[in-house]
Amino acid sequence: MTLEEVFADTGPFGDAFPGYKLRQPQLEMALAVERAIASCGQLIAEAGTGTGKTFAYLVPALLSGGKVIVSTGTKTLQDQLFNRDVPSVRDVLKVPVVIALLKGRSNYVCHYHLARAEHEGRFMRREDVADLQKIKRYVNTTNSGDKAACPGVPEDAPIWAHVTSTRDNCLGQDCPNHKDCFVLKARKDAQEADVVVVNHHLFFADVWLKDEGAGELLPACNTVIFDEAHQLPEVASLFFGDTLTSGQVVELARDARAEALVVAKDYVLLPNAAEALEKSAKDVRLVFKDIQRLPQHELKEKFPAFFTQLNVMTGDLQHLAELLAKQAERGESLEKCHQRAAEMLELLEKWQKSDSTETVHWIDVTQHGFLLHITPLNIADLFQKQVNMNPRAWIFASATLAVNNQFTHFQHELGLWKAETATWDSPFDYKQQAVLYVPQDMPQPNTPEYTRTVIEKAWPLLHTTQGHAFLLFTSLRAMREAHELLLEKLKDAGLDWPVYLQGTGSRTELLDQFRKEPNAILVASQTFWEGIDVRGDQLSLVVIDKLPFSPPDDPVLSARMEQITKAGRSPFMDYQLPNATITLKQGAGRLIRDETDIGILMIADTRLVEKQYGKMIWKSLPPMFRSRELANVQKFYEVKRSGRTISEEESKSETSTEKNAE
């Protein structure tokens, strides 16, 4: 059966889905994917929201007859592909393909660590004890061991850290529960399947870098498809580099102490050394009062105590490693701890050297810990080398890959200069479905009163849409300030609308609450800029405070900008601006998710229309009706809600807005 026959109104999709109609962009993308698979080529495809890109790549992939890996940016989409999309296409096409879902090992219950957690019984909360019992019952009935399917225990519950394994603390073949291991079962299923659904982090950690023993998947694969491919440069940079976290150090100390109490009870030096290491790792974090992201060379000047405390931790780690070496023969678990300690010492030494111009060595200080990173400044050569290693098709798909219809930035990031590129616009009628509003009289984005003014400008729109809004901010500080200001406004107005704040619950919980409650408002930062799908009237307004430029003091960005400057290129035009454009397109894409949606997108940052570079961003956004007049924006929404279309006379205000952007 040809693709034209599959996607035709009278084809199998027409029989399977009532009301199905051929979408020409979907068919064109499917044909491009088919050509890339047949020629073992590379395709970069931007398909606007509503194109149906998932089916456009799945149909030719399933009909190709080869082994396919589909990698997604989020676990949510990964589950959707495995549970709904791939089975639907398989059933419609009537092709006998076997599908497997493969996640990172921390997503599967570990029998060994579950038993150890129950035996030790050291929990911080009463809920942990109850959750442990639920997981025990789940393990007796599940075939997958996937924590996402465990009833009654949220995926972000603290108990999961105690009952899952990591690459560091997995005992491998020496585990007493090796034959029952859920991770090994999932990998075996993946090796035997025709279609394997993974996510980007797992793809690079497990499949590409072969860190966890699943490297058998890629050699046997004929096609690799990356959905949400705009995330790849950042994820690839993470996995082509090295990272040591305080969490890994603390986990080693706790594992060493726990194992010593089991197999080396008479050797009191070992638990004492483990406790000393855990304390010194936490003391490194205490050097910093606030969250920080700093290159290594700034640490000596700004935080002189850091290296002193890091040396204490290194010494404690060295001491623990020596004690573990002496006791390693008493148990495989202690030998494993010894190996982990040795690897950490090696990485610490590597991080402190910092003598390469191709990497940046930096620290990310979080609320409760720290991460020591070695990040490559250019991953294009590394990525291209892997892509060219064996003949197979590579498909890169997303709704946001191009900047002003050009893929140069994405190609440069990953070295994909030989790839075919194509764009297909969204079938949505944006001029009739949405209005883009850039308010007038806004202060400069770096002024203290900026966030307050954003809320003032958004307030009448919140009344127009009666809530049903996402307020998205480029920083956590602005998000929290906006949340407080909004609560004050609602209180003064006597409105009891529910307001949800990022961080007060998991993303899934907050979205579930938002979808259920009338007049709901969600205040969030960039965590909610992508991968969110709220259709219908429940989301009618999206407010974005600023153009999402990365902070120039970010260590990796700063080093990359310096490298680009030395190469004679413009770091702003060649790197910062394209990245900001792609991110803004993602945020704007939250608004219209269906052909019947109506909504308002407010971007408060007037640089979008007043700066010359704003023209590039402006033209990359969906072609919505556009205005800088509040009254016109409110009229548009009211007209569209009444079911009317926008007439030529009513659209005159847009012309002046377009001229401002030009």
pLDDT at 657 over 50: no
Given a contact cutoff of 8 angstroms between Cβ atoms, the answer to whether 519 and 533 are in contact is no
Residues 6+ apart with CB under 8 A from 603: 436, 437, 438, 544, 547, 584, 588
- Other beta carbons within 10 Å of 331: 17
Distance CA 462, CA 637 (A): 12
How does DSSP assign 329-362, residue by residue?
GG-HHHHHHHHHHHHHHHHHHHHHH---SSEEEE
Given a contact cutoff of 8 angstroms between Cβ atoms, the answer to whether 425 and 48 are in contact is yes
Best CA proximity match to 548, nearest among 570, 577, 523, 591: 577
The pLDDT value recorded for residue 328 is 83
Distance CA 307, CA 300 (A): 7
Distance CA 293, CA 296 (A): 10
Which helix (H) or strand (E) segment holds residue 43: the answer is strand 42-47
Residues 447-477 have pLDDT tens digits of 999 999 999 999 999 999 999 999 999 999 9
The pLDDT value recorded for residue 655 is 44
Runs of H (alpha helix) within 269-304 = 269-286, 296-302
Q: What's the average model confidence in pLDDT over 405-430?
A: 94
Query: 199-208, 232-241, 333-342: which range is least confident on average?
Result: 199-208
CA 557 to chain centre: 18
Q: What's the average model confidence in pLDDT over 233-245?
A: 91
Query: 63-72, 229-238, 352-361, 581-590: which range is least confident on average?
Result: 352-361
Q: What's the average model confidence in pLDDT over 425-429?
A: 92
What Cα–Cα distance (Å) separates residue 92 from each residue in 64, 69, 254? Answer: 15, 20, 51
The pLDDT value recorded for residue 649 is 52
Structure tokens at 517: 């409650």
The per-residue pLDDT of the chain, averaged, comes to 91
| Strand intervals (E) in 417-529 | 420-424, 434-437, 469-472, 499-501, 521-524
Q: How many residues does the chain have?
A: 662
Residues 125-178 have pLDDT tens digits of 788 889 999 999 999 999 999 998 899 888 878 899 889 998 888 888 888 999
Q: Which domains does the chain have, with CATH numbers?
A: 3-104+184-239+379-424 (3.40.50.300), 109-164 (no CATH), 254-376 (no CATH), 430-661 (3.40.50.300)
Report CA Rg, the chain.
27
Best CA proximity match to 29, nearest among 51, 2, 62, 5: 51
266: pLDDT confidence band, cut at 50, 70 and 90?
Answer: confident
Given a contact cutoff of 8 angstroms between Cβ atoms, the answer to whether 390 and 422 are in contact is no
The pLDDT value recorded for residue 69 is 95
- Other beta carbons within 10 Å of 263: 14
Residues 208-217 have pLDDT tens digits of 766 555 566 7
Distance CA 459, CA 420 (A): 45
The pLDDT value recorded for residue 357 is 84
| 3-state DSSP of 206-218 | HHHCCCCCCCCCC
Query: 47-51, 326-330, 395-399, 630-634: which range is least confident on average?
Result: 326-330
505: pLDDT confidence band, cut at 50, 70 and 90?
Answer: confident
The pLDDT value recorded for residue 660 is 47
Residues 79-135 have pLDDT tens digits of 899 999 999 999 999 999 999 999 988 899 999 999 988 887 766 678 888 999 999
The pLDDT value recorded for residue 506 is 78
Distance CA 71, CA 61 (A): 13
Given a contact cutoff of 8 angstroms between Cβ atoms, the answer to whether 72 and 444 are in contact is no
% of the chain beyond a pLDDT of 90 = 71
Q: pTM here?
A: 0.89
The pLDDT value recorded for residue 578 is 94
Q: What's the average model confidence in pLDDT over 525-535?
A: 87
% of the chain beyond a pLDDT of 70 = 95
Residues 431-441 have pLDDT tens digits of 999 999 999 99
Distance CA 53, CA 589 (A): 15
